[in-house]
Structure 1
């Protein structure tokens, strides 16, 4: 099925049989129409005599592919921290807790994750033995 360029409106989804893809009509470039993938990406040229309006199924499929591709590109968020995985808080007024918390902060600033973890372990051990409620 062929269509004339008069039926092409910016944003309209068209099927390009040459690439077997659905694209959003952007504009004309010389003898071609410019299509952009659903969800964004590099435009491509298509023969205006070959493209046709996308069917409902093709539009939905292109939308699903765009959402899946976007989801793969976004880093997943870390799981929420539970109380056991949160850094321990120093007990107010305790010099040992304060010293270990300062050691942890210095390690964090230096991007020394090993020393930061060590300080957390020592702070937890100190709190278990000295501040047991």
Structure 2
């Protein structure tokens, strides 16, 4: 067990037996030491006489839990887009698709890349709405 006179460097991982958690030493606050969860979070006060340096096993476990928590919290990758590298193809027999395809072709002939992109976006939106379940 640590004594109250023992000083830890900020960032050192300590085990708090009162909570059963490993925390990163931040500083002293009155009679307590302030610990923060590995990977970030809300700090808590711990008894400086009770905390001790975390073992290798405790440090690894706390780090793995923090990485897993962060991975679950991150948004998943966006769904794949419909082969964005190629312009969408009009659906045969659909008047709206045909009109947007003609609008795109006219913009391409006029070298109006902005209007060409707009037509592609509108065609993709139309196809998602009208031609997919």
TM-score scaled to structure 2, two decimals? 0.67
Alignment CA distance shift 1:105-1:59 (3 Å): same
Q: Kindly state the Cα deviation for residue 106 of structure 1 after the two structures are TM-superposed.
A: 4.7
Aligned counterparts of 1:80 and 1:118: Cα–Cα separation in 2: 17
Aligned counterparts of 1:79 and 1:104: Cα–Cα separation in 2: 19
Aligned counterparts of 2:119 and 2:43: Cα–Cα separation in 1: 53
Q: 2:121 aligns with which of 100, 105, 116?
A: 105
Residues paired across the two proteins, number: 111
The answer to whether the 8 Å contact 2:38/2:63 transfers is yes
TM-score scaled to structure 1, two decimals? 0.67
Aligned counterparts of 1:12 and 1:61: Cα–Cα separation in 2: 15
Counterpart for residue 18 of structure 1: 18
Aligned counterparts of 1:4 and 1:116: Cα–Cα separation in 2: 69
RMSD: 3.2
The answer to whether the 8 Å contact 1:104/1:116 transfers is no
Counterpart for residue 54 of structure 2: 54
Stretches of structure 2 that go unaligned for 5 or more consecutive residues are 91-97, 105-115
The answer to whether the 8 Å contact 2:14/2:22 transfers is yes
Q: Kindly state the Cα deviation for residue 14 of structure 1 after the two structures are TM-superposed.
A: 0.1
Q: Kindly state the Cα deviation for residue 103 of structure 1 after the two structures are TM-superposed.
A: 5.8
The answer to whether the 8 Å contact 2:88/2:120 transfers is no
The answer to whether the 8 Å contact 1:17/1:50 transfers is yes
